[in-house]
Structure 1
Amino acid sequence: MPEKTRTEDLPLISVIVPVYKVERYLDRCIQSIVDQTYRNLEIILVDDGSPDACPDMCDAWAARDCRIRVIHQENRGLGAARNSGIRISTGELIGFVDSDDWLEPTMYEVLYRSLTKENADTSMITGVLEYPNGRQIYLYHPDLHLVMTTSESFKYINLPGYSTISAWSKLIKRSTLGNIRFPEGCTGEDWQFTYDILAASVRTTFDSTPQYHYRQVAGSLSNTSTNFNFAGYEATKNMVKLVHQKFPEQLPFALYGQMRSMVSLYDQALVTGHAKEQQWRDFAEDTRTFVNQNMKAVTESVTLPRGRRLQLKLMAISPTLYGVFFLLHKRIHPERSK
């Protein structure tokens, strides 16, 4: 582990950590933030009405490290918890961590260096998916460093492996954050937040070196029918409108992003057994129509992986046929992340 760098005289970074029912993982998460080589941190733990030992654990950590502040509030959800943290934060720079994950010791130093070196408004890193059986998945192109204009950021955010929606991946200037906040009362709040941040950033950097460990809790999504990412889908539609108006040169990439969002949402309906319901039949038909209307524009600008091209062609032909192949693939390869 590298020696801690003297960064007390560098800008204060506020790290906001919503906490809810993660007592098994919380100590590792907080320890990884406390141990950052970038020392000038304000660590804000937002106890979102957690019914377990987390509230006491947060208070104990605050007693051990003067950089830690704690908010206790009634349960209001992830977006509201992050917004509460933003409200009391004082740092010139803002970051977010999910309380069941953990960081590499250099994460915020890497983010800060990238931000300052490129005179950027937002910097991003990547993470590794961590599964309970010890399996790890890395989803990004290796050794990649991008410096993007606002327009270019809407190209790369829609290309898998070149950027990431997740709030934890980012370090954001407070002046860029402004009045941007997370949607509340929904899942998928990272999508609209990220699009708003990219639109407000004149320059954004992306470093594909993994600095974050993103814990995958078995069954958290695929076995739950209430976690459909409608907010992410609506945010993606809003993003397409924004790109059409302000960055038309990136429209094929935005359309591709909407295709992926629609197909992913339908995949959730298939996995949870809801696809035969009328609302999902209608949604599948809307998806088929959207893919057929925009496939030519997308393929003229976007190089699609063979598997993705086949996926979209099947959806364009028949959502029923697509569903058969999708569920068969999931049965043969249950270990693969969607």
Structure 2
Amino acid sequence: MKSKISVIMPVYNRGDMIGESIESVISQTYHNWEIVIVDSESTDNTPEVCRYYTEKDSRIKYIKKSNEGVSASRNCAIDNAEGDYLFFLDSDDIIHKRLFEVLLDAMEKSGANIGGSSVRFVKQANWHKLNAYLEKNTEQGETRHLSFEETLEAVFTGTSPINLIGGVMISRKLIGNTRFNTSLHIGEDFYFMYENLFKGTDAVFLNEKWYFGRLHGSNLSGDYSFEGFWSRFHRRELVWQSEETMGRTKYVNLQKLDGLNVYKAYLIRNNHKTPDGKKIRRTMKDYRKVIYPVLSFKEKVNFNLSVYAPAFYKFIFKVTSKIKRGRK
């Protein structure tokens, strides 16, 4: 019997978009699937759209739950999924009609427990052009197989399509009892992927970008509050602590440097005199002993300036950025 794929789809107020997402699954050339939609108390017409599809196709489940964040919704969907493989699709995105067929075939033939497609991001203004593109698309869906070590390297260097959860397929047996960390509201998808990859598995990646991510108003803006900073920074801390237990110093250092980059981005975008700005700098002072050893001399100077003289650091950043732009 063919393996069953459970599509994990959290939703909140996507009545104008979720229909396209569902239709892209219905159009799959691989037919043994189910969609598990978890609605976090939508206040628009999302429930009506979802009920229309549940009445139309028995493979579609619709669950309503309290709004506790996207991680809790995904966990609920995982708990109610019956498939051998779980595929993650956001309610405002769509997928190529052959994605399931090609990705699952490659995973089962190679024995890989994780597979994924890179994301082709499309602005809302250009979304209407997708149908014409997909009709003319002649890509065959070639894949590449990576060992555990190669996958780990790809994930930490940002060359892997599984850094985002959209477009990722994972075997149910690998996931087991692992769930999304509900204390993280940014970066929770990367950490979930890492926790599963950490168990030791090969991966299969599609060479083509067959997952189409829609860029629109509500997903273009970042969270630059202290909570947003802490979620991003703490995710990296959780990973470097895990890597330390495994003795993989290379990835420990990469995550610490990445954490520092998160801080720099927040410092540049925030007013350092606001309560959030001050709280972020106090947090970095607390982590100075942890991050300092992996920094070069120049990076140490910049770190100290950013923490103890933020106004001067931001001035230097603006000047150097202007010079770099002038050289292009």
Structure-1-length-normalised TM-score: 0.77
Deviation at 1:315, TM superposition (A): 4.2
Provide structure 2 residue ranges, at least 5 long, that are not aligned to the other structure: 130-141
Aligned partner of 1:280 in structure 2 is: 280
Determine if contact 2:236/2:258 at 8 Å carries over to the other structure: no
Separation in 2 of the partners of 1:40 and 1:85? 18
Separation in 2 of the partners of 1:74 and 1:195? 27
Paired residue secondary structure (1:117): helix
Paired residue secondary structure (1:270): helix
Which deviates further from its counterpart, 213-222 or 187-196?
Answer: 213-222
1:158 aligns with 2:156: yes
Paired residue secondary structure (2:6): strand
Find the partner of 2:173 among 161, 172, 175.
Answer: 175
Deviation at 1:223, TM superposition (A): 6.6
Determine if contact 1:42/1:91 at 8 Å carries over to the other structure: yes
Change (3 A) 1:332 1:226: farther
Which deviates further from its counterpart, 261-270 or 284-293?
Answer: 284-293
Deviation at 1:69, TM superposition (A): 0.9
Separation in 2 of the partners of 1:275 and 1:315? 19
The Cα RMSD (Å) is: 3.2
Deviation at 1:51, TM superposition (A): 0.9
Separation in 2 of the partners of 1:326 and 1:110? 46
- Percent sequence identity over aligned pairs: 22
Determine if contact 1:263/1:287 at 8 Å carries over to the other structure: no
Aligned partner of 2:236 in structure 1 is: 236
Change (3 A) 1:227 1:245: closer
Determine if contact 2:8/2:78 at 8 Å carries over to the other structure: yes
Separation in 1 of the partners of 2:237 and 2:3? 36
Find the partner of 1:255 among 231, 253, 256.
Answer: 253
Separation in 1 of the partners of 2:160 and 2:68? 32
Paired residues, number: 302
Separation in 2 of the partners of 1:330 and 1:61? 51
Find the partner of 2:44 among 34, 39, 52.
Answer: 52
Provide structure 1 residue ranges, at least 5 long, that are not aligned to the other structure: 1-8, 137-142, 297-309, 334-338
Separation in 2 of the partners of 1:57 and 1:38? 24
The one-letter code sitting in structure 1 at the alignment partner of 2:116 is M
Deviation at 1:116, TM superposition (A): 1.4
Deviation at 1:254, TM superposition (A): 3.7
Specify which structure has the higher proportion of helix: 2
Separation in 2 of the partners of 1:100 and 1:332? 39
Change (3 A) 1:144 1:34: closer
Deviation at 1:58, TM superposition (A): 0.6
Determine if contact 1:18/1:81 at 8 Å carries over to the other structure: yes
Deviation at 1:19, TM superposition (A): 0.9
Change (3 A) 1:200 1:293: same
Deviation at 1:17, TM superposition (A): 0.5
Aligned partner of 2:211 in structure 1 is: 212
1:78 aligns with 2:77: no
Structure exhibiting the larger radius of gyration computed from Cα positions: 2
Determine if contact 1:122/1:201 at 8 Å carries over to the other structure: no
Which deviates further from its counterpart, 286-295 or 186-195?
Answer: 286-295
Aligned partner of 1:222 in structure 2 is: 222
Structure-2-length-normalised TM-score: 0.79
The one-letter code sitting in structure 2 at the alignment partner of 1:78 is V
Separation in 1 of the partners of 2:318 and 2:265? 9
Aligned partner of 1:193 in structure 2 is: 192
Change (3 A) 1:219 1:22: closer
Find the partner of 1:271 among 269, 272, 277.
Answer: 269
Aligned partner of 2:113 in structure 1 is: 121
